[in-house]
With several copies, the nearest count.
Chain A
Amino acid sequence: MALISYAQAACQALAAAMRADPRVLALGEDVGRGGIFGQYKGLQQEFGAARIIDTPISEATIMGAAVGMALTGLRPVVEMRVADFALCAIDEIVNQAAKNRYMFGGQGRVPLVARLPIGIWSASAAQHSQSLEAWFAHIPGLVVVAPATPADNHALLAAAIACDDPVIYMEHKELWALQGEPPAPDPAVLGKARVVRAGADLTLVTWSKLVHTAVEAAGRAAQHGIAVEVIDLRTIWPWDRDLVLDSAARTGRLLVAHEAVQAGGFGAEIAATVAEELGIPVRRVGAPRIPVGYARTLEDVARISAERLLEELTTFVQRDAQRRPAA
C-alpha cells in the first residue's frame, strides 16, 4: 500500500469529515492555498471559500469567531499555524472556548478543533518552537491531543472533529513530511494510549515526535538487554491513566519523556500520579528550561535525542536494579 504523509493524512481526515457533515469547516490564515504545511491542500478547490475560509491575521478573532460558530451549529477546525501564535488567542481559548459550556450552565457546546502545532521547528528559534501541551491540560473544559504518526493524524483528527468538546489538536511541526502506513477509516477513541513496543523492564511514556525517538532508543536498549515498553499517549488530556498505571505496575519503573520544557511539563503530572499511586521509581526527561536558540549547537541542547533517552533509561534501570536487586 502507498505510504501517506502526516500532513496528507490530516488533510484526508478533514476532507472526509467535510464531505460527511456540512457543519464542518476550517478557518485560518493561508488555508485557501493549502496551508503553509500543505495540511489543507486542495480543500478550498473542493469545498469552496465559504468552508475553507481564508482569514486576516487576527488570531484572537479566528479563535473567538470559531467559538461563535461552534455555539451556533457549526463545527469549525481552527488553523493557528503554530502553537506559538495561538498565544495571541489565549483569552479566546481559555476564558471563552473552554469555559463556555460550564459558565453558561450547559446551554451551549463548543465543538471546535484548534490546530496548534508544537515542537522545535528546525532553525526557527524561540518564537516558533514551543511545546505547550501542559498548559492546555491544566485547563478544565479542554481536550488535548498530540498525534505521532500519519495514521494517528487521521484517526485522531477525525475523532477530534467528531468530539463535542473544544479540542486542542497539537500536530508536530517537524512531522508534516513523515511518511507512514495509510490510516484506517475509523476515528480513534480520544483518551486511549497505545503500546508501541512491549517490554518488561521500564515503562517509557511519551507522545508526538518523541515517540519515534523513544522507539529508536528502546531498540538500542534491547541490544543492552533492557526491555522498554514504549507508550504513545496520543491524548494528553484525558490521559490514559489506566494503561500507564498497568504498564508501570508491571515494569516497576516509569520514565516520561517529552520535548516540552521539563519544569512544569505534563511529564510531571504523569510522574507524580504514578508515584502517588504506585510508589515506584519515576524519572522524567524534558527540555532544559531555556528558550530554543537558532544556531544548531544551541538548538541541539533543547532537543531530546535518542542517545539522551538511551542514556537516561539505561542509568535509571541500572541504578534501580542495584538499589533493589530483588525487584
Chain B
Amino acid sequence: MPVITFPVNSSPAEHLLDLYRTMARIRAFENAAEETSRGGVAVFGSTADAVALVRGPLHLSTGQEAVAAGVCAHLERGDYLTSTHRGHGHTLAKGADTAAMMCELFGRATGTNHGKGGSMHIADFSVGMLGANGVVAAGIPIAVGAAHSAKIRGSGAIVACFFGDGAINRGPFLEGLNWAKIFNLPVLFVCEDNRYSATTATDAMTGGAGAAARARGMDIPAETVDGNDVRAVDHAARDMVARIRAGGGPQFLHALTYRVKGHVSVDPATYREQGEVDRALESDPLQLAAARLDALGVDAARIAEVDAAARAEIETALAVARAAPWPQAAAAYTDVQDTGAGQWH
C-alpha cells in the first residue's frame, strides 16, 4: 500500500480550536438552513410552503457536531465517508464547500448534487463524501464496499461510516459489520447515538447493551465515548484511525450524544420531556469546547473570531445560494443512465 502522510499535530489548544471551528461552521450552516426552511417542510400531513428556500425534510444535527468534527479531523481528502439522512455535519467536516452545500439545500443548479438531491442526499464525491442516504442503515454496505475496494486497489484510503442508534436494529448493520470483519477492511463505524429514532426512544427498541456490545459480539474493537466532548471523540477516532491505517481492520466508535432538535426541523418533539432537552443543552458540544479552550488559555476573542468567521462564511453561502440558478427542466433527464439515453418514456 502507498504511504500516506498525516498532518503533524498542532498544539492541543490549536487542534481543539480547529475542531471548534468545524463545529461552529456546522452550527452556523444548520441554523441558517433551519431559518430558510421555515414553512418549507411538508411533513405530518401539512403542505409545503412554496416560497421557502429550503424545502422538504430537513434533519438537523444540532448538538451532535462534535462527532462529525472529531472523526473527520482524522480523515484525509482521499478517504471516504458515508452518511445518513442527517448528513450536513459530516459533509462539511469532510471538506465540502458550504456555498455549494447551501446551493444544494436551495435546490440550485450549482449545488453539490446540481439540485437533484437536497439536504437528505447531500454528497460531495470530490472530497470522498459518498452521500447522505434516505434509507436508514443503507450507507453501511456501501461503506463496506468502498473499504473493500480501497483494500483491493491498495489505495490506502479508509472509510468512515456514520449511522444512528436506530440503524443498529436493521439487518445491514449486522451484515456490514460481519463483512468488514471477515475481510479485515479499513472502515471506522461511527454510531451517532442521539437516543432517538424519529419519535421513538431507541433504548426501548434495542435488545441488550446496544451498539458497542453488538460490534464486540463480532470481535470488532469498540469504544463508547461522550459524543458531546469533541476531545473524547477526537482521541478515540485518532487511535482507531491509526489502527485501521496500520491494517488492524474495522473499528467501532459509539458516540453518545443527543438530538437537540426534533427529528425533522418541523417536529416539535412533544413526545419527550422538556427537562431532558434542557439537561442535554447543558452539555452543548460547542460550549464544552469553548470552556476547555478557555481553560487551555485560548483568548475569548479568538473564539469569537472563529464564531464570526463561521457566520460570515454561511452568510456568503446564503447569498450565493439565493442568487444561484435553478436547474433547467431538461436537467431532469440527465444522469439517469447512459444506455437508452433518450428513451425515458
Direct contact of A and B (CB under 8 A): yes
Q: What are 20 of the A-B contact pairs (CB < 8 Å)?
A: A33-B200, A36-B199, A50-B152, A54-B200, A57-B205, A60-B170, A61-B175, A61-B178, A68-B149, A72-B130, A72-B146, A72-B150, A91-B135, A123-B42, A125-B56, A125-B116, A127-B120, A288-B332, A290-B332, A297-B326
Q: Are B145 and A69 in contact (CB under 8 A)?
A: yes
Complex: how many Å from CA A164 to CA B341? 12
9-residue interface stretch from A135-143, A201-209, A214-222, A225-233: A135-143
B278 contacts chain A at the CB level, 8 A cutoff: no
Give A126 to B134 CA distance when docked, in angstroms.
9
Instruction: Type the 1/0 row for A71-104, where 1 means its CB is closer than 8 Å to any CB of B.
Output: 1111000000000110110011001100011111
Q: A101 with B335: in contact, given A54-B205, A295-B326 (CB under 8 Å)?
A: yes
Count: A-B pairs, CB below 8 Å: 310
| Residues of B in contact, count (CB < 8 Å) | 89
Tell me if B131 is interfacial: C-beta within 8 Å of chain A: yes
CB-based contact B170/A165 at 8 Å: no
Interface residues of B in 145-190 (CB under 8 A from A): 145-150, 152-153, 157, 166-167, 169-172, 175-176, 178-179, 182
User: Which stretch from B107-115, B222-230, B236-244 is at the chain A interface?
Assistant: B107-115
Closest chain A CB from B326 CB (angstroms): 5
Interface stretch, picked from A105-113, A251-259, A306-314, A317-325, is A105-113
Residues of chain B within 8 A (CB-CB) of A297 are 107, 115, 326-329, 331-332
Q: Smallest Cβ distance from B138 to chain A, in angstroms? A: 6
Contact with B along A278-293 (1 / 0, CB 8 A): 0000000000111101
Question: Which of A102, A106, A143, A237 has the most C-beta atoms of chain B within 10 angstroms of its own C-beta?
Answer: A102
A29 to B150, CA, bound (A): 21
Contact of A176 with B by CB under 8 A: yes
| Cα-based distance from A241 to B342 in the complex (angstroms) | 12
* B166–A56 CB distance below 8 A: yes
List of B residues within 8 angstroms of A125 by Cβ:
56, 116-118, 120-121, 134
Write the A144-169 contact mask toward B (1 if CB under 8 angstroms, else 0).
00000000000000000001111100
| Least CB distance, B192 to chain A, in whole angstroms | 14
Contacts of B172 in A (CB 8 A): 60-61, 64
Residue numbers of A with Cβ under 8 A of B are 5, 7, 25, 29-30, 32-33, 36-38, 50-51, 54-61, 63-74, 84-85, 87-88, 91-92, 95-96, 100-108, 121-128, 140-143, 163-167, 174, 176-177, 190-191, 237-238, 241, 262-263, 288-291, 293-298, 300-302
A163 — which chain B residues lie within 8 A by C-beta?
338-339
Which residue on B lies nearest to A76, using beta carbons?
B145
Once the chains bind, are B338 and A298 in contact (CB under 8 Å)? no
A125 to B: closest C-beta gap in Å: 5
Chain B residues in the interface with A (C-beta under 8 A) = 40-48, 55-57, 80, 82, 107-109, 111-118, 120-121, 123-126, 130-131, 133-138, 140-150, 152-153, 157, 166-167, 169-172, 175-176, 178-179, 182, 197-200, 204-206, 271, 326-329, 331-340, 343-345
A103 with B121, Cβ < 8 A, contacts A125-B116, A163-B339, A295-B108 known: yes
Within the complex, the shortest CB–CB distance from A6 to chain B, in Å, comes to 8
B111 pairs with A105, CB closer than 8 A? yes
A303: min CB distance to chain B, Å: 11
Cα-based distance from A270 to B246 in the complex (angstroms): 56
Q: Return chain A residues, CB-CB under 8 Å to B169.
A: 56-58
Chain B residues with CB under 8 Å of A91's CB are 135, 138
The CA-CA distance from A300 to B160 in the complex, in Å, is 35
Chain B residues with CB below 8 A from A296, complex form: 55, 107, 326
Closest 8 CB pairs of A and B: A64-B141, A68-B145, A238-B340, A123-B56, A65-B145, A105-B113, A295-B107, A294-B118
**A127 adjacent to B46 (CB under 8 Å):** no
The verdict on A64 contacting B145 (CB below 8 Å), with A72-B150, A125-B116 known, is yes
Q: Report Cα–Cα, A105/B116, bound state, in Å.
A: 6
Chain B residues near A102: list those with CB within 8 A.
Answer: 116, 335-336
Q: Given A143-B340, A293-B115, check contact A301 B332 (CB 8 Å).
A: yes
